[in-house]
A and B are shown apart, each in its own frame.
Chain A
Amino acid sequence: MSLFLIAALPFLGAVLPALLVRASRNAAAGTAAGATALALIGVLTHAPAVMRGEVPMARAPWVPSLGLNANLMLDGLGLLFALLILGIGLLIILYARFYLTRRDPMGKFYALLLLFQGAMLGIVLSDNILMLLIFWELTSLSSFLLIGYWNHLPEGRQGARMALTVTGAGGLAMIAGALLLGQAAGSMELSDIIARREAVQASELYLPALILILAGCFAKSAQFPFHFWLPHAMAAPTPVSAYLHSATMVKAGLFLMARLWPALAGTDAWFLLAASVGLITMVLGAVTALFKDDLKGLLAYSTVSHLGLVTFLLGLGTPAGAVAAVFHIINHATFKAALFMTAGIVDHETGTRDIRRLGGLAAFMPVTFLIGAVAALSMAGVPPLNGFLSKEMMLHEAAHTAWLGSELALPVLAGLAALFSAAYSFRFVAHVFLGKPRLAHAEPPHDPVVWFWLPPAILASLTVLIGLFPQSMAGELVRAAAGAVTAGAAPEIKLKLWHGVNEALMISAAALAGGAAALALHGPLARVWAVVAPPAAKRAFDALVGAATAAARRLTDALHDGDFGRSAAIFSVFAAGLGAWAWTAGGAAPLGAFPAALGPTPPIPLIGWVCLVTATLTLTALHRHRLLALVLIGVTGLMVSLTFSYFSAPDLALTQISVEVVSIILLLLALNFMPRETPRESSAARRARDLAAAAAAGLGVGAAIYAILVGDFAFAPISEFHLANSKTGGGGENVVNVILVDFRGFDTFGEITVLGIAAVLIYALTETIMAGPVRARLLNRRPAEPQAGDAHPMMMVVATRVLMPIALTVAVYIFLRGHNAPGGGFIAGLIVSVAFVMQYMASGFSWAAARQRYPYHAFIGLGVLVAAATGMGAWFNGKPFLTSDFGYVKLPGLEKFELATAALFDLGVFLTVLGAVLLALESLARYAWRPNIASAHPMDIDPTRDEAAQREEGR
């Protein structure tokens, strides 16, 4: 079976239960088991070849430029882990079917479990370190969901988040480490990396890579000081704990250390880091486990301790250590999974996991007792069970290695760990199954159905069989795996039960005896422990996370507190600073020849300058008086318009002045609803800050413009082309207009779109506002002062009626001459708009609206469409969008005149401008509708209804 298929099977199996959510619980379990079994068979078909030393591969390029390829391989180490993952996985699936209750969604559980299984399998099969990383992080994610499976429990949620944070952080360190390692080895393929030990260890990247990778492994495998997440992950359903903490999740770190052992191990740094951390973890976990009263807590810390043991063995960097490590991985998986399952059965049947409330269960649950006792004794290292064998190997290694310059430290510490290991194992048996029952049971607990205890029973019998017949049961597998770990350097060893009397056996015997003694003294020891126990890491972790969250919140809240002025000031100052830096960083002089350009100043610009500066300064000083500010900004706008006019820009001047008129009308209408004065509310410091920001921006702009004016173009500007081709190519004498409707007509197309969108936006906005509670408020608004005189003075009505045709004529004239003289569709549109606005002002909105036959939306839509259609017309000529055509037409009785498609485009501009301005003003006017002024309009509102609406609002 292809390795790809094997790796994919759990994921396919994860999809099926998810789809089968409505099917029966057995169907979910069945599909999960089926997928797992298939994958297991697939692995087994490869087993003989792997035992022979072949390495089946499957390769597929994924992102070759990154060195990331979907390359899989199955060597001895991979085979060992794949068998553990799938074999124990199968047992867990069976076990979970009976463990979970009706209230637990079964499909979801199996989907997550198989997702996790697939991620684990991916790790052990990967031949590419980046590929491995992907699966690595995937185990963090899927275990997050598994641990949080019972998410109604706070422990479940917190445990899940803690596991994700710690292992996720480790994973991120690992990313960096993997990239560095790949760089040092010159390849991302694991098979290459482990073959290039010298290159890796000689690289200056070795140490950072080692530290980062070990950090990731330690976080995953719950090594000190990252061990604290594991006990909290016990909030998961027990099948999850049994799976994650015996054979899989936590073994991933050990797997990777074993996988990279040929490339990384054997240096002082490796020994110091891995062996020391492993040793500390082993002792600390063992001691802590003895004093845990929660069954799963005890097992959790024992797991920590045993993981430390394997880390220690791998950290030794010797081939013999590697063999022992591999063997212990197998043994630990068997007895620990069995123990977790036993704990789950006890919990399931008695309703508690508290050791202090349990006892004497052996009488009620003999089968469970037998399973638990065998597995626990194996964990204690009691011969002839398998735990004894690998522990002996560990003690043997410890007895022959110096650590921190001491020959004695290792055997003593390892023996201490073995002692406590024996003690908590004994406690597991003695305090739970032996002694007197401490719990009053309504109905006595009993052994569960056979399918429930069968999985741990199988594992327990394995511990016996491996213990008795190590070589035939596990020898080949250990040899193959150890061979892969050590890249062939593993000594040929025969696993056997009896090695004769040696130091290891003596330490072991002492540890067992000591363990029994420690159990006898458990009460007093527990009181001592309560005093000397190290502080709970969870509290520190929670405080750290809490502090980080609070700091993040304080920082982001303070920065993004909705203070617009500050962010705008930062923007201004940053822009000014960046501009100044860019200006000077190139080594250029701050400004050109400063005084040389000071020519004589004619009087007209001087007068204009004085007016402009006075108006602007007065405006800024007196801006709190809003009406005055409007008048002054009108003056400023006028002066700007005159500036354009003076400097040979008649089109600009016309446009500026007509835009000015409409804008001021708009602002005046808006001001009608707003306060007339701006309150004085900025502190002096704030005003100073604002002045500084303003001065920086003003100085920058002034300096830049001065530099522009005293300098000249470095190259001929493109406009020479436009001047030369306007008449011949564009058919117009007003070059600006030809640029707008022809050379750069696309800009204009975009510009009228902007205007159209603006009007539509305003319309939509007022519709929304008027559909809400604001409408009632507006209707009940009392004018601040009584309306002066007649709302529609006769004089004005008459005047606007007369002006209307004149304005229209002027507009047509301006429109038509635009191509050759200042004018065009935009200005014409504004003029007609102003004429209409005058009508509104004179006769009221309703009068005008009643005579309004086409909705302004249509004008806008039509305008954009006309412009677009004109542009598309060129397509029929085989020309690009907006290609204009023009010709001269001679009609009898008239002078020869020119017809250009650009005029049609300009018509689109005209229509859009007209529609947009009128729609905007109409929308604004809707705020002003008042039943007592406007005549009955179909959309006018019945005030009684609005009172009802207001009452509604008040409720």
Chain B
Amino acid sequence: MSRDLSPWARESHPSARPRITWPADMMGFAGTLFGLRTRRPSNAPPRQGEPRDRLSRSDIRRIPDLFNVLAWRVDYQVMGIDALTGLQAPVVFAANEQGALDWQVLKLVLPPRLRTTHRHLSRSLTQGRSVAVFTDDPLVPDEVGDFTTVAADLATQYSIPIVPVALGGTFKLKEILRLALKSKPRVWVCFGAPIYVHGRSLAETTAEVQAAVGELFRSEQMSWWAVQRGAAAPTCRAESMPRWRRLWGQTAPRPIREHRLWQ
């Protein structure tokens, strides 16, 4: 060392002994009646209300809702839930119609702050509650039915995003749950990237929602970027099939994969 440091400039070793500070601090705050009686400095600006919070990753952690009976009766899988990060209720969920329990399945997998209703849509959005809009019944089985312009209309009116959702395995689920099965029926829910409606017509937005839900439904294996790129390409529709084949396909065992792109 070529610089001469002062002889008293020694390294300090802070005491490792724990100190108790909490009682003294709280006694100090008791003088303000714990924030109820405070004096504002003369030139301090007035207080302001606080805006709402957005949905973070910790909010959408997949903890099953154990009070929901459906959670015990189906084996469900959620994909693409990260797409909900940063959203702020309310939003419109646009999902494909498959069976009578679609809404209950969607409600089961959504984080509490985004739980939806599918009645009194406009009033619910005004009150800050998210809503779910479903397609019509599909003309071709195992396909996505057509959306009306309701989702686009609501999103435009309230300036909120539309989240495309694909549901699988819910066809005839209500009837299946009545059977005495040894294994739980399997359902899956796949969320896509939110669609924003700025500057688009209702028809354009509806077409985009339709394409997004269709791609989600068909493309469990694809990455988001692949889905994005494929969205513009024409897709061939599945052949019509009898109902049993649809149920047969729905219950077919799937290969176990350790990693899923959408998770």
Q: Do A and B come from one complex?
A: no
| A positions within 8 Å CB-CB of B | none
